[in-house]
Homo-oligomer: A and B are copies of this chain.
Amino acid sequence: MDDKLMLMIPGPTPVPEQVLLAMAKHPIGHRSGDFSKIIAEVTEGLQWLHQTQNDVLILAASGTGAMEAGIINFLSPGDRVLVGSNGKFGERWALLCEAFGLSVERVTAEWGKPLDPAQFQTLLAADTAKQIKAVIVTHSETSTGVLNDLKTISQSVKSHGALMLVDAVTSLGATSVPMDDWGLDMIASGSQKGFMLPPGLGFVAVSPKAWEAYSQAKLPRFYLDLGKYRKEAAKNSHPFTPPVNMFFGLQVALKMMQAEGLENIFARHHRHMTATRAAMKALNLPLFTSDQASSPAITAVAPVNVEAEQIRAIVRKKFDIVMAGGQDHLSGKIFRVGHLGFVSDRDILTAVGALEAVLQELNYEVTAGAGVVAAAQALSA
């Protein structure tokens, strides 16, 4: 039943009906006073979500486009950067930096394990000549479900003086990313994640220190030149033609988030993570990440004695639930349950129930009902 499709992937995430209907309104002119009011309102909402007074700029781009903007605007060819790489997205930013002629040093961890903040600390402390211009970290690694310890890493970066550039694509709106408190210099994210919107918008928050670096940075840029966005944003305008219907949706989604409140949103995501993990344990399905380093947005499972792709195929076919597979070398080895954005307790129970039914069908050794019981207990805790 195609119209019954239920997304439990880490993006696109489910979108509330009132957001979809807002997006179905007739477009208005992007140079009108009415649109300026929308820009002003959503910018304020974005600052609230980022827990910052900094500029938050809105691009017609995916999360990758936002992240590229958040890197190339602050650096020059040959600049040395440390890039945390413990999954597909961390590695993507290393490749992106190399494509732009930066001198990249990777700080790696095995996929599924968190980055070690001590490694950053050692490299930064050794860099007395201050050659490291930026440190790039993926907060929630979407490909593995790992939450990296951004807070600790950012403390070392702050002491050193390099820029702290953050991919918060699947952490923003799922867990606290307090830009000002943690001294983050750039946060990039995308609309199809915690924002409860379809894909199409990228967001880039920029600190005053990053703007200082901007004025010296020499990598070429035009469409992704954040200075152009800042200049127009100051007038509640946009340098190019923004996706106005996505802005209609953003306006509604941010209002919904503000009505729920940041603490409640984070608690909900944490509850869903805990319940999902409890269910997997009860179902005898090995989790791919430790409890200490698990993302509140995505739970990755590495099944043994049963095929990840077989589980995904049946859960899709029989129950119209889409779960994500593994990427790159993890293809076929893990499956990923997204619990990010517009997800309710009921959705978690539903997904666990469907998964349990599939395991029974596959004759996987599992105590009937154990997953749903464990999830329900965790949800009510």
Give the CA-CA distance A27 to B192 in the complex, in Å: 9
Assess whether A302 is interfacial by the CB under 8 Å rule.
no
Contact A243–B25 (Cβ < 8 Å)? no
Contact A23–B199 (Cβ < 8 Å)? no
Assess whether A173 is interfacial by the CB under 8 Å rule.
no
Taken residue by residue from 48 to 65, chain A's Cβ proximity to chain B (1 for < 8 Å, 0 otherwise) reads as 000000000000111111
Contact B26–A200 (Cβ < 8 Å)? no
Contact B5–A26 (Cβ < 8 Å)? yes
From A228, which residue of chain B is reached at the shortest CB distance? B64
Residues of B within 8 A of A64 (CB): 222-223, 240-241
Contact A100–B34 (Cβ < 8 Å)? no
Asked, given contacts A15-B26, A29-B12, whether A61 binds B223 with beta carbons under 8 Å apart, the answer is yes
Give the CA-CA distance A29 to B31 in the complex, in Å: 33
Asked, given contacts A15-B27, A21-B24, A27-B12, whether A65 binds B198 with beta carbons under 8 Å apart, the answer is no
Contact B2–A34 (Cβ < 8 Å)? yes
Give the CA-CA distance A192 to B240 in the complex, in Å: 12
Assess whether A84 is interfacial by the CB under 8 Å rule.
no
Residues of B within 8 A of A63 (CB): 240-241
Taken residue by residue from 11 to 45, chain A's Cβ proximity to chain B (1 for < 8 Å, 0 otherwise) reads as 11011000011011111111110100000000000
Chain A, range 132-185, C-beta contacts under 8 Å to B: none
Give the CA-CA distance A115 to B2 in the complex, in Å: 52
Assess whether A7 is interfacial by the CB under 8 Å rule.
yes
Closest Cβ of chain B: how far from A198's Cβ, in Å? 4
Assess whether A246 is interfacial by the CB under 8 Å rule.
yes
Asked, given contacts A241-B63, A243-B200, A244-B199, whether A223 binds B68 with beta carbons under 8 Å apart, the answer is yes
Closest 10 CB pairs of A and B: A200-B243, A24-B24, A12-B27, A198-B245, A62-B240, A65-B223, A20-B24, A68-B223, A96-B222, A199-B241
